[in-house]
Structure 1
Amino acid sequence: MNILHMDLGADSYDIVIERGALQKADEYLELDRKVLVVTDGGVPKEYARTVAAMAKDGVIVTVSQGEDSKSIAQFSAILSRMLKEGFSRRDAVVAVGGGVVGDLAGFVAASYMRGVDFYNIPTTVLSQVDSSIGGKTAVNLDGIKNIVGAFYQPKKVLVDLDLLKTLDSRLVSEGLAEALKMGLTSDAELFELFDKGNINENMDEIITRSLMIKKNVVEQDEKEQGLRKILNFGHTIGHGIEAHEERHGLYHGECVAIGMVPMVSDDLRPRLIKILESLRLPTAVDLKADEIYEAMTHDKKGEGDQVTVITVSEPGEYEMKKVRFKELYPKIQMIGI
């Protein structure tokens, strides 16, 4: 077992990294109350049932798998269910799922009665290494990802690597793209684990090192005023690709993987592409550069005609700078058609 402490003053919490943690969730979480467990159809049913059975009064809500569930309509429906079930300000919401479930359930918890306790039990590599901590909660609106939401920290996060055993290899790889992102910007040794190809035997270390990086960044910049923007490495162009999800069918981590390719130095790019290919992650997309560019300029992180971008020259070394969107067009051409 490894416990990382997120030091955010009154909003501090522990991140428990332990195989088998789900089976004793009641030892870590305060479940002696009414608990709403939010999960999705792709998560094994027994995960949510295990948590609900430990609660004094457990209510399970299962949403459809996929990004479409991060909608205002689904957000409203869950709030209505909580109201109907008589949830009070003393009760809690637990997310049992991947990033979509965590974002949605967290925003529900932040909003119901101006905030109830929220716990996160991530069940994918992507959510375990990244989205389960840091307090970003949100839903999508009019095709724009995460445009409506709030910073709302969980009370505790349980990272149980045994929950990854049911994931198919594509989902594992898309999550590893986010861990690779962390290594590129902040941890050369983490990057080396990927470069050497020792993935499966080092999964515990990869997830723990990734969480430590994000923890340290969030502690210094909780509301993304500066340093936390390094976590967006690969995301600016990645979100431009992701906006066309209905056409290419790529997952979030796959879009981030492609988005990282143009943002590293010419010397580093071949090494990155080799790693992405070994993970069966895409390095380009069958979209016109103009289509990616148009979607990218609508990304919420833009500031007028400018955006803050992260570039990496060597593993563990990054540069953060503001550029005009049009300066990114040649980079988009590297991964589009």
Structure 2
Amino acid sequence: MFSIDNFIRPHLKSLKPYSSARDEFEGEASVYLDANENNLGSLAGGVDYNRYPDPYQKTIKEKLSKLKGIRPEQIFIGNGSDEAIDLLMRLVCEPGRNEVLLLPPTYGMYEVSANIHNVGIQRVPLDEHFQPVFEKIAEKQTESTKILFLCSPNNPTGNILEPATVEKLIRSFNGLVVVDEAYIDFTDIPSWSTRLDEFPNLLVMQTLSKAWGMAGLRLGMAFASPEIIGYLNKIKPPYNINVVTQELVSAALDKTAQLQDMLQVIIKERTRLVEAFEALPLIEKVYPSDANFVLVQVHNANELYAYLLERGVVVRNRSTQPGCANCLRITIGTPAENDNLLESLNAYSAQEATL
């Protein structure tokens, strides 16, 4: 049976976390003289901003609990998912001794964070269908391997990782399995967060940056056992989510109807773009997508990327990623932006035809 206590870096088990003023007093009072705040107010435009934020984001967690069907004590809130990735590295990986397992092509921040913390990296590329190969992954794990990162829907490929293989990996991996679901809202596949009680070594990450349209507010979520979440709260900065973000996110979480409206538009536009891409001779392959972007393979990605830039259209050139030669990642824009993109692609095709 997996126990997070067996994987925590020894010195963190006895760590006494910073105790903030808001940790030591909870409740309501008429005069607050405990946190060395400026009681006269704030030059940032509001009296509320002179007070430190809730260090544990209780209001947001209560709303997420109802929305996701997850207990508040199973929720960690971070400054983007990147903070959760960083804290997980700190929590279980000894610098210079431990390693993580990545399945490229995948989200680049896993590797960056590992490099920052001097944590080793084992790589097992996804197969030609961008699916994990269980046997090869099992062969790579050693006693030093502490975390397996799975991105589903995957970035930059856009596809869901086969659920049966993911489950097999969670059950067999002797360490933390992190399933990054940044794009889960764009598909009808159930979230792995619904099975947290079944898998004590599972941590699921989601974000409000994509479907919810709040990338600028920087709020990511991690769902796991209360034991894992307790350790993340123990080592996080005391006030990692600011007052403005907490207020705006709390209000946004009440707008689930508007979220569904936006999702319908994005998914409809994704279908339209995929159909248009498949009809364009310059696009050699359109990969299946369960995200708010589509990966396409073209004749010459560098040339097409530069051409689109000249016309004011910015896409992402992913050609340097394993298995993604001559591939561009194209985000689903507004209907007008997508029209602009298709017009530019058609113009490029016409230009190619005359050469």
TM-score normalized by the length of structure 2: 0.33
TM-score normalized by the length of structure 1: 0.34
Q: More strand by proportion, 1 or 2?
A: 1
- The structure with the largest alpha-carbon Rg is 2
Q: More helix by proportion, 1 or 2?
A: 1
